[in-house]
Amino acid sequence: MAEERLQPELERRLRLLEDPRNQGEDFDGTAWAALIGLGVLLPILALLIGRMA
């Protein structure tokens, strides 16, 4: 692919996204519990309830 110039607004947004100060923080314990609960345990529970019905 030929090297093309990006639009100035797109370049500005990409620079903002690549800035380490704009990357956010790691997940805390509450976030991990919600991710595991909603992403793993809840589907397993739904499958078990569906199998019993």
27: helix, coil or strand? coil
User: Tokens 């690549």 — which residue?
Assistant: 18
What global pTM score does this model have?
0.49
**pLDDT of the chain, 53 residues: tens digit per residue:** 456 777 889 999 999 999 988 888 889 999 999 999 999 999 999 999 999 97
Contact 42, 36 (CB under 8 A): no
How many angstroms separate the CA atoms of 45 and 38, rounded? Answer: 10
